[in-house]
Structure 1
Amino acid sequence: MPGSSHPQAIQDHHVSSTFPTTSHVIEVRSHTSMSKQPSSTVVCASSCSGEPSGKSVPLKRAFSDGGLVVPLAKAKRASASDDESLVSIREVEYPDHGFIATKQLSEYPVYAKHEYTTHDCSNACPLGESQQALNAYIRTAHSPLVLPLLFGWYRQVKTTGKGKKNLKKVVTYFTPCGKQLDCIKDVYDYLMLVGSIVPITVFTFEGDVELTNRFCIKKDSVKRFDEDLAKKILDKPYARYPIFNCFSDSLPDSFSYVKKITKSEKVVRLLKEKGISERTEGCGCQGTCTVNCLCFNMYEDERGYCYGRLLRKQNYIVECNDNCKCGPSCLNRVTTNTVTFPLILYNYPDKGWGVRALCDIPKGTFLAYYYGQVVADSEISEKHDKYLVALDFKGAISKDDSIAEGEGEHEESELLNLDGRRFGNIARFMNHSCDPNVFVQVIQREMFSGQIYNVAFFTARNIGAGEELAWDYGYEVGSLPNRRIICMCRAKYCRTYML
């Protein structure tokens, strides 16, 4: 509602440092000069304009908003100047109603550097992990990275080197007992030694990540507000996804917010016929997993997670699940044992709804799974081709590209898709970008199959507060007849067209 407030995201005051808009004129290139992208993954179907002329072709790899649909018949008739006029909407400037505010770390209830006295660290070390400190985090903190500070930790950032090109920010953590830790491995070893409940994902040695930055929106600029996209169904009290519309009084189309994927009746039958079922086995590791872990040994890539973060995309990751005996501190439980980074849903006048970061987020951080209903290709309607993610990502475990239905020469192949139109979560609103800051990772957690798996989103680089989170849908321009979508990502090297 207009005038409503949110304790973290709306501030009724002004600061001199405003968040810059990314709107700028982008050169229009010819269709033939564009490089082709991988044909897997998805494409955006926009709500910015009507359906194209001619027979409708479903966007079976469709996702969220982020582009302008153009009738192909008009595009074929258009001259070079006409083509430029079609993309002129990308050059329209519009205000960004957000700004970056900072909060001094000393303002938090618990924040002090402790003097170190020589001792052997053990579970007798003071940790400050009280319910009072946790309540203070829920009430006041804008970033999970502040949580250690409320528990008595101290984070120090020093700039070293000479000259602008050689400057480097070096991060050091000091424990509640005063011990100095200079790398993420030392932090993890300390957490295990003293039996801390603090997850490793709330620590970062990225010097460019500012713990004090938070994205705010002035109250008087909000025309429509809702406190939580998830309707408060998430387990954690601080896991809220507020909705902001500064340009109209509309909210996103109605859908059911879910916390896991569901399957259509046809998909359940196809999986049963194929002999694909949920994982019933788990590792027998005690505490945290080692190199002998059953799940680790299912990897193609030995690197996997790096102390709670995924620093580069891999073919797939087999993550420990509910059947495993390892504890919550296991380094192979990243997507389920982490503190949620706050995100907001923000309406853009040219590309619709998008997801923005409320605080700085380090590289390799897990953001969300893409949840929805798993459906077969034959269940996709031409009228409802948005919010679809095809489960055809390269690097899947099995070499089979589809699930076969029937036998003999008339065998029918079915590709499975994640449909987020009726059932979904915050990830369904992530837009496309030709210069993405988010990447997709295949996670084998509930199942171990190349046909059905979890689709997870991780940050590809450090994310600044207020920055939109977007990934490359990877669709091939010109691959669908009667459809053309102008890209609205406004990246410096935008490919102009998404489809």
Structure 2
Amino acid sequence: MAENLKACRVPCKLTWDQLQTQCRQEKVSCKVLGVSKNNINDYEVEYLCDYKKMKEVEFYLVKWKDYPESANTWEPRKNLKCFKLLRQFQQDLEAELRRRKKRRSAKRLDTGVVSYLVQRAKQRQQLQRWEDHLNATRNHKGRILVRNDVDLDGPPRDFTYINNYKAGEGIVLTEVAVGCDCADCLASPVDGCCAGASLHRFAYNDRGQVKLRAGLPIYECNSRCRCGADCPNRVVQRGIQYDMCIFKTHNGRGWGVRTLEHIRKNCFVMEYVGEIITTEEAERRGHIYDRQGATYLFDLDYVEDVYTVDAAHYGNISHFVNHSCNPNLQVYNVFIDNLDERLPRIAFFSTRPISAGEELTFDYKMQIDPVDAESTKMDSNFSRAGLPGSPKKRIRVECKCGVESCRKYLF
């Protein structure tokens, strides 16, 4: 019986750090965990809570990792090797003192400042855990950073990061049954390649930039196609390629998104994903969202108004992109593995070069110029389903985009 158990393995319920902490608490050395007699008394600083100065010696109140707050201790500056935490503590302290228009005390901090510093440290931990979760969940190349230098809000509640559409109750996403036979879709398309569905208008140039007018559909190669993953007609399906930052805006617009890399004109930036629901369900949810003062409903009305994408509780980074009356993102309808024209994928492409650090925006009421018959099919009707009743009953939402051409109201 014992021989049969030699190959058995069970996962440990403690993390590596927790096992190290357990060893130090029990004063046990462990070569595998890297706990030796030389470092058995070393503990990790989780964050700094307070500061005081006694007889020209600086002390910091330390919250130790994996220990309760009741175990916090005052430590002299010379004992601390957490240089990043020390620098962050000083920055938070100086910022709060400026906000309160107070001078720094030579010996002690007042209780209000100390309370803020602890809340700020805990918030930073929450945001870091959320950032780690987002990056563990994403299936795209672009990394996600999270920053809030405005207030003490933590991660949004009741929001799940997803990478693709989530079909709502009673909705089925069918996959395409055929694909192209091209060896080189850009140079030698066979029978018009997949772009043949769009009157043989290939959507991209050789650098992956969209060259179709806004309003025209994009048909990319799909899972049934002969071409490989590096096909130039596979752009949106490769996902987000740029590192981005979810950040708290300073003017009351909630969270926003900025790019951390330069983006060329006409390049794919991100998709708008969420839960696909019927317009009837969208109408019901819209009444609820209106009372909450926010909505994330995007009508899929390329050919008929049947379905809506709701990104309120399920979505990707596009959930946090704000409106602008002069946006740098343009909406395109894209078809890949699903050719149901009632269920296009919503892709955002850059309308101009976007600098690193610039906020990404799109127009919630973007209208497409009718340059030809087909382009009149698509408008960007973001959150229209959330506006109940006739136009007279619609709730007017103030626009805070701040551009010179601002229309003053979102809806």
Query: Structure 2 length normalisation: TM-score?
Result: 0.57
Amino acid in the other structure paired with 1:282: G
Q: 2:400 aligns with which of 488, 493, 497?
A: 488
Partner of 1:280, secondary structure, is coil
Q: Report the Cα offset of residue 252 of structure 1.
A: 2.1
1:295 is aligned to 2:186: no
Q: Deviations over 1:392-430 (max 9, x none)?
A: 1xxx3x5xx24xxxxxxxxxxxx2101112211001111
1:431 is aligned to 2:322: yes
Partner of 1:468, secondary structure, is coil
My pick for the range that moved more, 468-477 or 438-447, is 468-477
In structure 1, runs of 5+ residues without a counterpart are 4-11, 14-93, 95-219, 272-276, 403-414
Relative to structure 1, the CA distance from residue 229 to residue 443 in structure 2 (aligned partners, 3 Å threshold; closer, same or farther) is farther
Q: Return the alpha-carbon distance in structure 2 between the equivalents of residues 231 and 331 of structure 1.
A: 26
Residue 331 of structure 1 aligns with which residue?
232
Q: 1:281 aligns with which of 162, 173, 178?
A: 178
Residue 348 of structure 1 aligns with which residue?
249
Partner of 1:267, secondary structure, is coil
Amino acid in the other structure paired with 1:302: R
Instruction: Work out which structure has the larger RCO, using CA pairs closer than 8 Å and 6 or more positions apart in sequence.
Output: 1
Q: Return the alpha-carbon distance in structure 2 between the equivalents of residues 243 and 439 of structure 1.
A: 24
Residue 162 of structure 2 aligns with which residue?
258
Alignment length, in residue pairs?
A: 261
Q: Is the 8 A contact 1:229 1:243 kept in 2?
A: no
Residue 376 of structure 1 aligns with which residue?
278
1:316 is aligned to 2:220: no
Q: Deviations over 1:318-364 (max 9, x none)?
A: 11111111012211001134671111101113110111011211111
Partner of 1:383, secondary structure, is helix
Partner of 2:393, secondary structure, is coil
Q: Report the Cα offset of residue 309 of structure 1.
A: 1.1
Q: Report the Cα offset of residue 234 of structure 1.
A: 2.4
Residue 84 of structure 2 aligns with which residue?
none
Q: Deviations over 1:113-134 (max 9, x none)?
A: xxxxxxxxxxxxxxxxxxxxxx
Amino acid in the other structure paired with 2:195: F
Larger radius of gyration: 2
Relative to structure 1, the CA distance from residue 297 to residue 482 in structure 2 (aligned partners, 3 Å threshold; closer, same or farther) is closer
Q: Is the 8 A contact 2:194 2:219 kept in 1?
A: yes
- How is 1:172-191 mapped onto 2 (pairs within 5 angstroms)? none
Q: 2:142 aligns with which of 239, 244, 255?
A: 239
Q: Report the Cα offset of residue 488 of structure 1.
A: 0.6
What's the Cα RMSD here?
Answer: 3.1
Q: Deviations over 1:415-473 (max 9, x none)?
A: 21011122110011111100010011100112212211100111110001111100111
Q: Return the alpha-carbon distance in structure 1 between the equivalents of residues 397 and 218 of structure 2.
A: 33
Q: Return the alpha-carbon distance in structure 2 between the equivalents of residues 387 and 298 of structure 1.
A: 30
1:470 is aligned to 2:366: no
Amino acid in the other structure paired with 1:291: P
Q: Report the Cα offset of residue 223 of structure 1.
A: 6.2
Q: Is the 8 A contact 1:287 1:329 kept in 2?
A: no
Q: Return the alpha-carbon distance in structure 2 between the equivalents of residues 438 and 429 of structure 1.
A: 14
Relative to structure 1, the CA distance from residue 221 to residue 300 in structure 2 (aligned partners, 3 Å threshold; closer, same or farther) is farther
Amino acid in the other structure paired with 1:246: D
Q: Return the alpha-carbon distance in structure 2 between the equivalents of residues 331 and 306 of structure 1.
A: 8
Q: Return the alpha-carbon distance in structure 2 between the equivalents of residues 300 and 451 of structure 1.
A: 19
- How is 1:394-405 mapped onto 2 (pairs within 5 angstroms)? 396=302, 398=303, 401-402=304-305
Q: Is the 8 A contact 1:355 1:429 kept in 2?
A: yes
Amino acid in the other structure paired with 1:469: L
Q: Report the Cα offset of residue 287 of structure 1.
A: 4.7
Which has the larger helix fraction? 2
Q: Return the alpha-carbon distance in structure 1 between the equivalents of residues 182 and 202 of structure 2.
A: 19
Q: Is the 8 A contact 2:269 2:349 kept in 1?
A: yes
Q: Return the alpha-carbon distance in structure 1 between the equivalents of residues 203 and 354 of structure 2.
A: 21
Q: Is the 8 A contact 2:257 2:321 kept in 1?
A: yes
Residue 367 of structure 1 aligns with which residue?
269
Q: Report the Cα offset of residue 286 of structure 1.
A: 2.1
Amino acid in the other structure paired with 2:391: S
Residue 300 of structure 2 aligns with which residue?
391
Relative to structure 1, the CA distance from residue 466 to residue 480 in structure 2 (aligned partners, 3 Å threshold; closer, same or farther) is farther
Q: Is the 8 A contact 2:328 2:350 kept in 1?
A: yes
Q: Return the alpha-carbon distance in structure 2 between the equivalents of residues 329 and 288 of structure 1.
A: 11
Amino acid in the other structure paired with 1:348: T
Q: Report the Cα offset of residue 303 of structure 1.
A: 4.4
Amino acid in the other structure paired with 1:495: R
Q: Return the alpha-carbon distance in structure 1 between the equivalents of residues 47 and 403 of structure 2.
A: 31
Q: Return the alpha-carbon distance in structure 1 between the equivalents of residues 184 and 351 of structure 2.
A: 29
In structure 2, runs of 5+ residues without a counterpart are 1-45, 49-86, 89-98, 100-119, 366-380
Q: Is the 8 A contact 1:223 1:247 kept in 2?
A: no
Q: Report the Cα offset of residue 247 of structure 1.
A: 1.2
Q: Return the alpha-carbon distance in structure 2 between the equivalents of residues 267 and 246 of structure 1.
A: 41
1:357 is aligned to 2:259: yes
Partner of 1:230, secondary structure, is helix
